[in-house]
Amino acid sequence: MKTIQIIFIIALLALTAGIGVRIFNQWQADQKPMPLPTFSFPDLNGTQHSSNEWKGKILVLNFWATWCPACLKEIPAFMSLQTQYAENVQFVGIALDDLEAVKTFQQKNAVNYPLLISGDWAGFNLAKQLGNSISAIPYTVVANRDGQVIYRHSGELSASELQAVISPLL
């Protein structure tokens, strides 16, 4: 009986260590700069916009949806930062939502940065390429002027947290 308990404990410790190593390795991979993949999505008027459009600027991509309370909570802070840093920084909202819902949201809130419509899967696939392995929203990434993704964040992001990332890049 004692031998079985010892084997069980060793197996449990090995499993826990394996999970820990995998999480640590994923965290390290998420911290390494990576090139921003080229993407293209339509805006609310159906005009296609490519990521190349904002080359040379610090790019803040926010994956969001109108049905996501945390997403909606961070948008006013993003609007304020877009105004504050307009010369050097470009925010882009990538809506994982349908066109009509985003149009209604924009009419009520007058977001001051481009809102692109990715539908569901294309946006989630891009977010996954950018490190969002669990498909969480909101999900925000920051790419520097050289087009390198240098910051990734799952969940609601405060203005002060984002400012701490953007300010050294200016």
Q: Give the amino acid at 85.
A: Y
Model pLDDT for residues 32-68, shown as the tens digit of each residue: 899 999 999 999 999 999 999 999 999 999 999 999 9
Of 160, 125, 159, 157, give the one whose Cα is nearest residue 141. 157
10-24, 50-64, 133-147 — which is least confidently predicted?
10-24
Say yes or no to pLDDT of 10 above 90. Answer: no
**3-state secondary structure (DSSP) of residue 139:** strand
pLDDT (0 to 100) of residue 32: 83
Whether this prediction's pTM lies above 0.85 is answered by no
Select from 1.10.760.10, 3.40.30.10, 3.40.50.1220, 3.90.180.10 the CATH code of 34-169.
Answer: 3.40.30.10
Instruction: Name the more confident of 30 and 32.
Output: 32
Place of tokens 């991509």: 61
Give residue 27's pLDDT band: very low, low, confident or very high (50, 70, 90).
very low
Instruction: Name the more confident of 119 and 49.
Output: 49
Helical pair 69-84 and 159-166, crossing angle rounded to 10 deg: 40
Residue 131's φ and ψ, nearest 5 degrees, are 110, 0
Structural domain boundaries in the chain: 1-32, 34-169
Give me the chain's average pLDDT, please: 88
